[in-house]
Amino acid sequence: MHLRNVALALRSLTAIHSSNKPAIAFAFHPKQHQHRRMTLHSTAVEPSLTSATSTHANPLLRSWSTEPFHLPPFKSIEPRHFEPAFEIAMDAHLKDLESIANSKQEDFESILAAYDRAGATLSKVYSVYGNYVSSLNTPEMQLVQTKMAPLLSRHTSKTYNVPGLFEKISKMNEVRDDMVKSGEWTEEMGRLAERVYIKFVRMGALLGEEEKKEYADIQAELATLQTNFMQNVLKDEEEWELILTAADFEGCPPDIIAAARKAAIDRNKTQEDAHVITLGRSMVEPFLSYSTRRDLRQKVFEAFAKRGELNPERDNKKIAIEILRLRKRQAELHGKKTFAEYQLEDTMAQTPEAANKLLMDVWTKSKVAADKEREMMEAFLKESGECLESGIQPWDWRFYAEKVRLANFNFDENEMKPYFSLDAVTDAVFDVSNKLYGLKYVKRPDIVAYHPDVNVYEVRHDTADGEEELVAIFLHDNYARPYKSSGAWMSEYRTQTKNLIPGSDPIESIPIVSNNNNFAKGSDDTLLSFDDGVTLFHEMGHGHHGMLSDCTYEYLASTSVLKDFVELPSQLMEHWLSEPEVLKKHAKHHKTGEILPDELIKKFKAAELFNEGFATIEYTSCALFDIAIHSLTEYSDDFDMAKFEEDYLKEMGMPQGIIMRHRPPHFLHFFASSSYAAGYYVYMWAQVLDNDVFAAFKETGDVFDKDTAERCRKLIYSAGNTVAPQDLFRQFRGRDPEVKFMLENRGLI
Ligand SMILES: [Zn+2]
């Protein structure tokens, strides 16, 4: 099994452009790197699978061939189906692996190609499970997750310890260079041998028997703790609410008020005129930006910043420390001093020092920018004769930033919103996708997924001989709702592969890709902020990574690239939304159809970089903190997470009025899975790459330049992990990445 980043996708954070940068999103935490796909399965068909027929009582185990495009049979799936399906599928997976280990054959096909196909049933069950615990995590599903997390972890450990298997994998790794050189293997086959070997080693295959046992225990315990951590955040987000009336929304634009009213109805508030503020970022940030009520802003901000510790009975700080201790021990078993060292070893950056160096460069420059922004806000206060008790606090920053934006640039973000309906932005992203990569999206309203909000599309392109061909199935789940994780992410129900189990329907090689966002649903049209639009483009970038994947082996396909490359495809896509060519065509007023006026575009461009210092500090402080806390060599019994956070930020000179975008008690990237732990820096790392790649388009004078787009498709979106990422970049750009494009685009130089 490999782990695929599944979820991946998180939107990152930080964003890049724009004003209030959204956040990031994470979401998928858990899964990530979990790979979703487990690999395995080879030609051996175990008895449990032969019974997988179209009439199997458990819809997760039956053949999905009667569903359109072999999608999961969503309407039949219930939480109770997961546990028994996992039991059978995990067993089948181990049998697949055992048959590889016991096979007399020693060739690539019998070992690595079979390894890549192994565990097909488990991959299917897991893909649905992973998507349900993020998008439909009802109380019943949460119980399933609590039960399954350690069992799945145990299973993963077992798959790396099947007797005789690692020896075979090692042999493949030893001969790979010679086989590739002699032409018997393709480059991709060589890469598969290398990556599978590295994965086994990183999962402890070289450890002694006692240590292996300890390693598996650590993984299982981490899985449970990480699940608890994530569920605690979800519970805080579900439970907390602030009931207001329309009169309490002074200063707020109508769409926020409408969204709060809708939230009140959804939560069955019967009081007349009830409006509810929830802890979703798409509601909190606009409220903080526009509410004139400082007392209410403070209340909402404090609750938002304390997610994960709002209820003392489920305080995530304690769980986080336990997680840190276990990770430290995990690293020690690998002979590393810290988890950061272990985690960074298999990345482009390779060491915590290299990641820190980039972050510190950005940190120093962004502090200067943030200080300047605060000075502008203070000047505004002085001029307007306002006096803020205790100065600009974190619940004031967004509010006064908007005031300055309006006063100094005559730009009000709200003027943009009517031009950014969800429909308009969706049309825009599909059009950009078509112009760059030739993809066409055909809506299939007749196909119902796991929730009525989810739109299903066939994604097609033209072949060389002019025929239309199916490339992928795309699921778009855009609205916030109860039991859906906050944030935004991409995931897959099926990953692209050409290495199908013999006899499979060819449709099984076509990826099924999903994008989740969390936009507050409007009562008629849903209007997005510019940042929401950036988030939607971001996730579509991950979506392209899945849909355009063109690899032979699933293990290397799609988003299964090194961590600090994975945000390149997504962040790159963000650039097109602010291109005038795209705005002029798609940013249409949702009521009148009027095109976004030039004047507004001009003002938007002028104001775009204002508050970039704030956004960069919010993100970079998290990324630095992440490496710092995972670089400790001890977490003593009296280790105090809150104090560490406070001391660290003080030492770093955190600008007054800003806090970390995600604080440790709800930092899902750190603690809901291990995949982004000591890895939050990847967004910044990838920003260096995406700004450099986008500059290549700009240099041609046409952001849709055909030749550049084709090389981008081939090297960035289709190659998966078949080639080392630094080599892909060099092939694209003819040189190593340069930091200056990112610094320029963020206005930091
Ligand atoms: Zn992302």
In angstroms, what is the span from residue 540 Cα to ligand 1's centroid?
9
Task: In whole angstroms, give the CA distance from residue 562 to residue 87.
Answer: 30
Rounded to whole angstroms, the Cα distance separating 485 from 163 reads: 39
How remote is the CA of residue 536 from the centroid of ligand 1, in Å? 10
User: Parallel, antiparallel, or unpaired: how do β-strands 275-277 and 455-462 relate?
Assistant: unpaired
Q: How far apart are CA 628 and CA 69, in angstroms?
A: 46
Ligand 1 centre to CA of 236 (Å) is 24
Q: From ligand 1's centre to the CA of 676, what distance in Å?
A: 11
| CA of 480 relative to ligand 1 center, distance in Å | 18
Classify each residue of 643-679 as buried b or exposed e, where b means 16 or more C-beta atoms within 10 Å of its C-beta.
Answer: ebbeebbeebebbebbbbbbbbbbbbbbbbbbbbbbb
Q: Which CA distances in Å does 319 have to 31, 231, 316, 577? A: 19, 12, 5, 40
Distance 111 CA to ligand 1 centre (A): 33
CA of 668 to the centre of ligand 1 (A): 14
Distance from residue 108's CA to the centre of ligand 1 (Å): 34
CA dihedral 460, 461, 467, 470 (to 10 degrees): -30
Compute CA 618 distance to the chain's CA centroid, rounded to the nearest angstrom: 18
Distance 16 CA to ligand 1 centre (A): 12
Distance from residue 437's CA to the centre of ligand 1 (Å): 20
Question: Could you tell me the distance, in angstroms and rounded to a whole number, from the CA of residue 493 to the centre of ligand 1?
Answer: 18
Query: Measured between alpha carbons, how far is 514 from 493 in angstroms, rounded to an integer?
Result: 7
Whether 499 contacts 113, CB under 8 Å: yes
pLDDT at 30: 27
Cα-to-centroid distance, 27 and ligand 1 (Å): 10
* CA–centroid distance, residue 485 to ligand 1 (Å): 15
Interval between CA 155 and ligand 1 midpoint (Å): 28
Q: Which amino acid is residue 238, in one-letter code?
A: E
> Cα of 571 to ligand 1 centre, how many Å?
7
Cα of 587 to ligand 1 centre, how many Å?
A: 24
C-alpha 422 – ligand 1 centre gap (Å): 19
Residue 87, number of CB atoms within 10 A of its CB: 14
Distance 456 CA to ligand 1 centre (A): 21
CA 52–ligand 1 middle distance (angstroms): 35
CA of 646 to the centre of ligand 1 (A): 28
Q: Which residues have C-beta within 8 Å of that of residue 699, sequence separation ≥ 6?
A: none
Give distance in angstroms: CA of 470 to centre of ligand 1: 25
CB 486 within 8 A of CB 10: no
**What are φ and ψ of residue 514, in 5° steps?**
-130, 140
Distance 713 CA to ligand 1 centre (A): 18
Distance 475 CA to ligand 1 centre (A): 17
> What pLDDT, on the 0 to 100 scale, is given for residue 19?
27
Q: How far is the CA of 11 from the centre of ligand 1 (A)?
A: 4
105 alpha carbon to ligand 1 midpoint, in Å?
Answer: 41
Smallest Cα–Cα separation from 29: which of 225, 217, 284? 225
pLDDT on residue 280: 87
Centre of ligand 1 to C-alpha 106, Å, is: 39
**Residue entry with tokens 């005129």:** 273
Distance (Å) from CA 466 to ligand 1 centroid: 33
Distance between Cα 81 and ligand 1 center (Å)? 30
Phi-psi category of 53—alpha, beta or left, where left has phi over 0 and alpha has psi -120 to 50? Answer: beta
CA distances from 362 to 53, 567, 568, 741, 749 (A): 56, 18, 18, 13, 10
Contact by Cβ (8 Å): 287, 277? yes
pLDDT tens per residue, range 298-336: 999 999 999 999 999 999 999 999 999 999 999 999 999
Residue 386, by phi and psi: left (phi above 0), alpha (psi -120 to 50) or beta? beta
Q: Tell me how far the alpha carbon of residue 362 lies from the centroid of ligand 1, in angstroms.
A: 20
Distance (angstroms) between ligand 1 centre and the Cα of 644 equals: 28
Residue owning tokens 């987000």: 237
Ligand 1 centroid to 22 CA: how many Å? 12
Q: How far is the CA of 542 from the centre of ligand 1 (A)?
A: 7
Quote the pLDDT of residue 54: 58
Rounded distance from Cα 180 to ligand 1 centre (Å): 33
Q: What is the DSSP string of 240-255?
A: --EEE-GGGGTT--HH
pLDDT at 18: 28
* SS3 state of residue 422: helix
The DSSP secondary-structure symbol of 569 reads H
390: left (phi over 0), alpha (psi -120 to 50) or beta: left
Distance 231 CA to ligand 1 centre (A): 21
Report the candidate in 13, 7, 8 with the shortest Cα–Cα distance to residue 531. 13
Q: How far is residue 434's CA from residue 441's CA, in Å, rounded to a whole number?
A: 9
Distance 489 CA to ligand 1 centre (A): 7
Residue 25 Cα to ligand 1 midpoint, Å, equals 8
Query: Is 276 strand, coil or helix?
Result: strand
Could you say which residues of the chain have pLDDT below 70? 1-55
Q: Which long-range contacts (CB under 8 A, 24 or more apart) does 96-102 make?
A: 96/40, 96/41, 96/42, 96/44, 96/46, 97/40, 97/159, 97/162, 97/165, 98/162, 98/165, 99/42, 99/44, 100/40, 100/42, 100/165, 100/168, 101/162, 101/163, 101/164, 101/165, 101/168, 102/164
Tell me whether strands 512-519 and 468-479 are parallel, antiparallel or unpaired. Answer: parallel
Using the mean position of ligand 1's atoms as its centre, give its distance from the Cα of residue 677 in Å. Answer: 15
Residue 376 identity: M
464 C-alpha vs ligand 1 centroid, how far in Å? 32
Task: Output the pLDDT for position 625.
Answer: 98
Find the DSSP H helices in 160-208. Answer: 165-181, 187-202
- CA–centroid distance, residue 205 to ligand 1 (Å): 30
